[in-house]
Amino acid sequence: MKTYSRYIIAAILLFSLGLIIYGFTIIEEDPLNANKCIGFGTVGIFLVAMPLFLITESRGKKMKDYMLTEENIRKMQGKKNKQSEDQ
């Protein structure tokens, strides 16, 4: 399932980049349609492809491991937990 979603996300990304490039190439002849293409390409990247990528890659991971809590700060500093120090 993960490989299919990667191909879908890659296709959306390439299509969006193609729209942006196409928009910049026709900006002299038709500025209205060029701005639409650039805008839809940007929306495709940031509001469709990026959230899909983040959802598929973060599935099954604990968000607590990535948060900056006191326990994680102690782990990064190489110190023991406060509870084990008290004992």
Q: 3-class DSSP state for residue 30?
A: coil
Which of 51, 16, 10 has its CA nearest to residue 37?
A: 16
pTM of structure: 0.71
List pLDDT tens digits, range 3-48.
889 999 999 999 999 999 999 999 999 999 999 999 999 999 999 9
Q: Where are the domains of the chain?
A: 2-61
Q: What is the CA radius of gyration of the chain?
A: 22
Single-letter residue type at 62: K
Structure tokens at 45: 């990247």
Burial of 54 (0-12, 13-18, 19+ CB in 10 A): exposed
